[in-house]
Structure 1
Amino acid sequence: MLSVFYSRIAPSIDTLAQSRALRCLAVISLVGTLAACGTTAPPPSLPVVTPPEPVIETPVVETPEPVEELVATGLVPPHMADRELARVAILLPFSADNSSARSEALRLLHSAELALFERGSGNLLMIPKDTQGTPQGARDAAQAAVEDGADIIIGPLFGPAVTAASQVARQAGIPIIAFTTDTTVAGDGVYLMSFPPEIEVARIVEYATRQGVERFAYLGPQNRYGMAVYSALQDNAALTGGSVAAESFYTGDVEAMARASARLAEGVFEPLTPEEADELRRETWVPDPEAPFQAVILPEGGTRLRALGPLLISQAVDPLVVRFLGTGLWNDPDLLREPALLGGWFAGPDLDARTAFETAYRASYGNDPSRIASLAYDAMSLAAHLDGGERGFSREAIEEDQGFMGADGLFRFRESGLIERGLAIYEMRSRGLREIEPAPLTFEPVDAF
């Protein structure tokens, strides 16, 4: 029987999250046992384990403090007392002030449970801890995980929380697999299970270069995400022998986006005649060797991207001539309704693997997972894979050069703590995404990342 222990989760988790979680969880006192929902009945109630009161009347009596006992032996459920346990702490903002963070925490927890039931052995113990959505809460949660004997920590969700938790984990020699995209917190035992835009840009630039693109352009927001994409575009264009020939940034609403589009295309392209457009539609797209830039990357998603594409076309930047490129934000079925984006390319995870995960999640919990819920599934699957291995939860094992296959396809961690993913290339079509180059099934050996 697989077990999940709940320890020191604040009672302030909102009522909605509790009611959803209780469909699959039974919390017994401060520590309870989780059994799989559905086909099996929940296990019998376990006796409440209460630590002994410290002796204060006679200080000379050598009674070990409860914390010291936990550090030495680790958290042991009574029904698992005869097993050699591997403990996986998962740190999430269950009682954060932000309702979206609380909801995301629950979806991540569900995904980790799903992986535990599918792939875990009978000696794998999951211990959820509440970070409360704050750095101090994350630090306290990490300390509690150390005291419970955690062998590995999954989470937290946000960069500042990862920074705080890692200070405790590094001192205890416990690796962390976190969910933030903040690369500044990675390394020295902290690994980022995320979708960094840098690897998506590297993949799409490499593919576009093989199709003959030499000159790229950037049109996007001047925020942290946009600047990460811009820097990656510059770096990877140079690596492939190309260049960034034009760029235009904006901060604000559609009016700012329109002004930036005009700056990028001012005096650059002439509108196509109907005859020219018809001729180009009949031909396979090839980069125009005379064009000032042959591809433009648009690092937006949702309604903002649906506005940005037509704005660019209104400035005579026609996708029949200039290939529109995207990031993982393009992986959205609603965007297929925008004609300006049809024919555009972006790099993304393997859709077959993702579909299998979503189907299993939906069958277990009755709703759809969030886009990042699979990160917790893969992190717990990795812990289950490493459990019992000769290298255990060591950095050597986590940084396995061959990588691992997860809910979003192939991935591996490098010594830097950053993730490398095997991504496919997709083309936007009116009837759905078309895979034009599959994701790799293996990684090439590399010396550094």
Structure 2
Amino acid sequence: MAVGGCVGGDVPYGLPAADGSQAAALPAGNAPLVPASGEVIGSGKTRVALLLPLTGEGNAGRIAAELKNAAILAMDDVGPETLELVVKDTGGTAEGAASASAQAVTEGAAAVLGPLFAQNVRSAAPPLATAGTPMIAFSSDRTAVSPGVYLNSFLPQGVVQRTLRYAAGQGVRRVVAIVPEGAAGDIAEAEARRTMLETGGEVTAVARYSYDDMSVYEAVRGAAEAIGAADAVFVPDGGNSPATIVSAITEAGIDASQKKILGTGQWTTANLADPVLAGAWFADTDQGRVAGYKQRYQARFGAEPSLTSALAYDTVVLAGNIARGAGGIPRNAIENPVGFAGYTGLFRFLSDGTTERGYAVYEVRDGRPQIIDPAPTRFSGGS
């Protein structure tokens, strides 16, 4: 099946040709007998539940509406006869997620997609574990994984690793990391240290800041000697942080033009037109693919979607293709080492439930990100 602009040329979107290792866990034609509770999309024999915070507080309901729209678009592409997709409202609460997942088990769902928030994922997992029903959730908190619980999300470790591995391949050995206070900074620091060690380099210093200019200047001044001796400065944060930090380095008397500035996909929220960021490198999802998804979504629903909603599209298409090939959603098919190619790029689920993704590396040129190392089209060891 070819989904416009979505299928990669080297990695099939769905199951590869059967080689004996992708045994179906459920025989084709076993339709659930219990009526479904929730909005039903499609008429396929494989029932899949989609858990969303449709009536959740704050932005939860808005994001949930986007995910639901993305699922509708995906069902248009895989065909309504491929799945019976049952949308269940969690209310954005742990209790609601647990109730919805238990209901999905009772109704014979072959898999559960979602929920969105880490605590909801943890609460939804026990009923599914008892039944042996896999879950593909959308949380970016890798601590939410457990046996049979997979995360189709943008885990921050992966994009940090891609940026620093590329930089190491270009001769970068000594890196100073300037990271925000809090959990996000902790994750970025830990992955930066691990990746540089694996590539034969090191993180020579870490400076932390709060979200005010004085804190940034103090962090830079405290690490000034290390920055002066480093090959690169790693700034994983987005927004105003990259430009403010690089400007602070210059104001501290350090020649930033002799240092490679490194970032992550968070830089899509930064002002890349600021001259201080020219020449910087950062890894991110292939924005060309994402643009194709956003155009289709806007044409159908009249609004520009978030990148998160593309995860729901890819996950529903993935489930549909697995169901078509296996008659159910077995875990060994979800963990297919070849992986899948979607609008969010190349990805595959590892046995620990986390997701490995293929990211592109960008350089800031003329105020815009330009790809200097394309996203991979296949995973090593995946054929």
> Where on the TM-score scale, by shorter chain, does this alignment land: which range?
0.7 to 0.9
| 2:221 counterpart (224, 239, 262) | 262
Structure 1 position 425 matched with structure 2 position 332: no
What is the 5 A alignment of 1:116-265? Answer: 116-265=75-224
| 2:303 counterpart (354, 367, 373) | 367
Q: Distance in 1 between matches of 2:367 and 2:243?
A: 17
Aligned-partner SS, 1:217 = strand
Q: Distance in 1 between matches of 2:54 and 2:78?
A: 24
Structure 1 position 299 matched with structure 2 position 227: no
- Aligned AA for 2:309? A
Determine the structure 2 residue equivalent to 1:353: 289
Q: Which segment drifts farther, 388-397 or 170-179?
A: 388-397
Contact 1:313-1:340 within 8 A present in 2 as well: no
Compare relative contact order (CA 8 Å, sep 6+) and give the higher one, 1 or 2.
Answer: 2
Structure 1 residue ranges, 4+ long, deviating more than 4 angstroms after superposition: none
| 2:60 counterpart (98, 101, 123) | 101
Determine the structure 2 residue equivalent to 1:283: none
Determine the structure 2 residue equivalent to 1:402: 338
CA displacement at 1:195 relative to structure 2: 0.7
| 1:73 counterpart (18, 33, 49) | 33
CA displacement at 1:391 relative to structure 2: 6.7
Q: Distance in 2 between matches of 1:347 and 1:375?
A: 18
| 1:329 counterpart (266, 280, 289) | 266
| 1:314 counterpart (238, 251, 276) | 251
Q: Distance in 1 between matches of 2:179 and 2:163?
A: 16
RMSD: 2.1
Contact 2:44-2:84 within 8 A present in 1 as well: no
Alpha-carbon spacing, 1:129–1:242, altered in 2? closer, same or farther (3 Å): same
Q: Distance in 2 between matches of 1:337 and 1:109?
A: 34
Determine the structure 2 residue equivalent to 1:343: 279
Contact 1:391-1:397 within 8 A present in 2 as well: no
Contact 1:336-1:428 within 8 A present in 2 as well: yes
| 1:378 counterpart (311, 314, 322) | 314
- Aligned AA for 1:376? A
- Aligned AA for 2:362? Y
Alpha-carbon spacing, 1:316–1:393, altered in 2? closer, same or farther (3 Å): farther
CA displacement at 1:72 relative to structure 2: 6.7
- Aligned AA for 1:344? A
Contact 1:142-1:165 within 8 A present in 2 as well: yes
Contact 2:82-2:320 within 8 A present in 1 as well: no
- Aligned AA for 1:86? T
Q: Distance in 2 between matches of 1:342 and 1:196?
A: 26
Determine the structure 1 residue equivalent to 2:5: none
| Residues 168-215 of structure 1: per-residue CA shift (max 9 Å, x gap) | 111121111111111112130011111111111111111111111111
Determine the structure 1 residue equivalent to 2:9: none
Contact 2:294-2:304 within 8 A present in 1 as well: yes
Alpha-carbon spacing, 1:442–1:348, altered in 2? closer, same or farther (3 Å): same
Q: Which 5+ residue runs of structure 1 have no aligned equivalent?
A: 1-70, 270-291
- Aligned AA for 2:47? R
Alpha-carbon spacing, 1:369–1:268, altered in 2? closer, same or farther (3 Å): closer
Normalization by structure 2: what TM-score?
0.86
- Aligned AA for 2:377? L
Contact 2:285-2:360 within 8 A present in 1 as well: yes
Contact 1:187-1:418 within 8 A present in 2 as well: no
CA displacement at 1:431 relative to structure 2: 4.5
Q: Distance in 1 between matches of 2:52 and 2:256?
A: 43
- Aligned AA for 2:45? L
Contact 2:204-2:226 within 8 A present in 1 as well: no
CA displacement at 1:373 relative to structure 2: 1.1
The total of aligned residue pairs comes to: 349
Q: Distance in 2 between matches of 1:221 and 1:432?
A: 24
Contact 2:322-2:328 within 8 A present in 1 as well: yes
Determine the structure 2 residue equivalent to 1:6: none
CA displacement at 1:402 relative to structure 2: 0.5
Q: Distance in 1 between matches of 2:195 and 2:112?
A: 33
Aligned-partner SS, 1:425 = strand
| Residues 124-147 of structure 1: per-residue CA shift (max 9 Å, x gap) | 111111111111111011112222
Which protein shows a greater Rg?
1
Q: Distance in 1 between matches of 2:297 and 2:115?
A: 21
CA displacement at 1:226 relative to structure 2: 1.2
Aligned-partner SS, 2:326 = coil
Alpha-carbon spacing, 1:172–1:219, altered in 2? closer, same or farther (3 Å): same
Normalization by structure 1: what TM-score?
0.74
Q: Distance in 2 between matches of 1:102 and 1:413?
A: 27
CA displacement at 1:268 relative to structure 2: 5.8
CA displacement at 1:353 relative to structure 2: 1.4
Q: Distance in 2 between matches of 1:388 and 1:255?
A: 57
